[in-house]
Amino acid sequence: MKDWLWFSVAFWHTFRGTGGDPFGAPTKSWPWEDGTNSLAMAKRRMKAHFEFMEKLGVDRWCFHDRDIAPDGKTLVETNANLDEIVELAKELQVGTDIKPLWGTAQLFMHPRYMHGAATSPEVKVYAYAAAQVKKALEVTHYLGGENYVFWGGREGYQTLLNTDMKRELEHLANFLQAAVDHKKKIGFQGTLLIEPKPQEPTKHQYDWDVATSFSFLQKYGLTGEFKINVECNHATLSGHSCHHELETARINGLLGNIDANTGDPQVGWDTDEFLTDISEATLVMSSVVKNGGLAPGGFNFDAKLRRESTDVEDMFIAHISGMDTMARGLRNVAKLIEDGSLDELVRKRYQSFDSEIGAMIEAGKGDFETLEKKVLEWGEPIVPSGKQELAEMLFQSAL
């Protein structure tokens, strides 16, 4: 199980989540917090984070540059703060197997990014974002991180009336290409990942879903340099199931990482809940197994405690429950594979394409004239049952 399930703690939710929401004040008061955003506090928090990971037995973590260290007054000061915390994290990693699953730059919180980062109409903001990603790539590399994620947050628009979509997409593509170049320059071997999300906070984001992101990568010649980080809650927001997004990524050779969380279909917001649904986890794990695993990616718990969960113990319960759910999903997939009935049902459903004509079509040689002749010879096709209820029954009985 350990080979299949690489778990990661998301620093921003677990150590910077306050329990606040648009209508309510923060609810958490962790014993190590002093209510400031000082460098000393950032250090104490990082130590608490490592203690948490060690107690939990998880050896991967994910972070944004700005969650782990406070902003300074200038970029120089901000980078110096970051260096201090990264140095501490590096020391805390010594003698453990702990390292980042991925790092990323937070390009959405600061007011300078109100129009976007790489898609901002302001060239100075584009440059600032570049400088920030440069540094974030370097520290991820320094900490032995295995991947680097791009999730823009504000790379989209509220209305096209004031937006030049073509220019923004081209800027974004150039930005990502420059990130690839810098990655190679510093010798970072990790995978670069794009994390699709349809909207929120902007009305429309350019990386709407896996298929949209894939066509963007293709159009700008970036395939081969990027994989996809599928977040289940983002799938919900784009009107897809997580399974659909995972399969779309997988069959295109793009499945690199999973932000293992879940949303609420009745809330319509990235609620980032821990995934505890065994059926959902089984579908997720079936894609992972078909993908031959995710390495060097894994499962990042991009999930937060509910506002009402305020005990330190709840941090443990949430992560343990998230891990157990994925593990049970994996077990169920093993059961389904060993039983073989579901695979057999799918195989049978397409077996007419194993015929001579079917093979011809699959080889791209099914010309319309030949097929018309066949129809005249065969007559009206007799179409067999799709066996959907049987498929659902086989799936459910493995849970």
Minimum CB separation of residue 317 from ligand XLS in Å reads 21
Among 59, 231, 247, 273, binds ligand XLS (CB under 6 A): 231
Nearer to ligand XLS among residue 27 and residue 199 (C-beta): 199
Residue 245's binding partner, choosing from ligand XLS, Ni ion, none, with beta-carbon cut-off 5 to 8 A by kind? none
Sole binder of ligand XLS in the list 14, 104, 120, 132 (CB under 6 A):
104
Instruction: 84-90: list long-range contacts, CB under 8 Å, 24+ apart.
Output: 84/39, 84/43, 85/39, 85/42, 85/43, 85/46, 86/139, 86/142, 86/143, 88/43, 88/46, 88/47, 89/46, 89/50, 89/143, 90/142, 90/143
Query: Which of the residues 64, 141, 171, 244 is marked catalytic?
Result: 64
Say if CB 24 and CB 307 are below 8 A apart.
Answer: yes
The answer to the question of residue 209 lying near ligand XLS (CB under 6 A) is no
Give the nearest distance from C-beta 229 to Ni ion in angstroms: 7
> Quick one: 138 or 231, whose CB is closer to Ni ion?
231
197 belongs to the binding site for ligand XLS (CB under 6 A): yes
Nearer to ligand XLS, 13 or 336 (CB): 13
Q: How many whole angstroms separate alpha carbon 273 and alpha carbon 270?
A: 8
- Site residues (CB under 6 A) for ligand XLS, limited to 237-256: none
Binding to ligand XLS by residue 257, rule CB under 6 A? no
Query: How far is residue 356's CA from residue 240's CA, in Å, rounded to a whole number?
Result: 36
Segment 293-322, which members bind ligand XLS (CB under 6 A)?
Answer: 302
**What, of Ni ion, ligand XLS, none, does residue 104 touch, CB below 5 to 8 Å by kind?**
ligand XLS
Site size with ligand XLS, rule: CB under 6 A: 10
CB closer to Ni ion, 67 vs 270: 270
Tell me how far apart the alpha carbons of residues 48 and 15 are, in angstroms, rounded to a whole number: 9
Distance CA 395, CA 388 (A): 11
CB of 195 to ligand XLS, least distance (A): 5
151: contact with ligand XLS by CB under 6 A:
yes
3-state secondary structure of 160: helix
Kindly state the helix (H) or strand (E) to which residue 211 belongs, with its residue range: helix 210-219
What CA–CA distance (Å, rounded) separates 139 from 328?
Answer: 35
Q: Provide, rounded to whole angstroms, the least separation between the CB of residue 365 and Ni ion.
A: 43
Catalytic residue flag (residue 64)? yes
Nearer to Ni ion, 245 or 259 (CB): 259
Task: Determine if 213 is a binding residue for ligand XLS (CB under 6 A).
Answer: no
What are residue 99's DSSP bridge partners?
A: 60
Smallest separation, CB 149 to ligand XLS (Å)? 6
Spatial distance between the Cα atoms of 274 and 277, rounded to a whole number of angstroms: 9
Q: Are 75 and 110 in contact (CB under 8 A)?
A: no
For residue 59, state whether it binds ligand XLS (rule: CB under 6 A). no
Judged by beta carbon, residue 59 or residue 207, the one nearer Ni ion is 207
Which residues of this chain interact with Ni ion, rule CB under 5 A? 231, 259, 270, 302
Q: For residue 191, state whether it binds ligand XLS (rule: CB under 6 A).
A: no
Our CB check for Ni ion shows the closer of 81 and 256 to be 256
What SS3 state is found at 93? Answer: helix
CA 186, distance to chain mean position in Å, is 24
Residues 6+ apart with CB under 8 A from 222: 173, 176, 177, 180, 216
Question: Cα–Cα distances in Å, from 61 out to 44, 166, 292, 315, 352?
Answer: 17, 36, 22, 15, 47
Among 146, 195, 207, 247, binds ligand XLS (CB under 6 A): 195
Active site (catalytic) residues: 64
Applying CB under 6 A, which residues contact ligand XLS? 64, 104, 149, 151, 195, 197, 231, 259, 270, 302
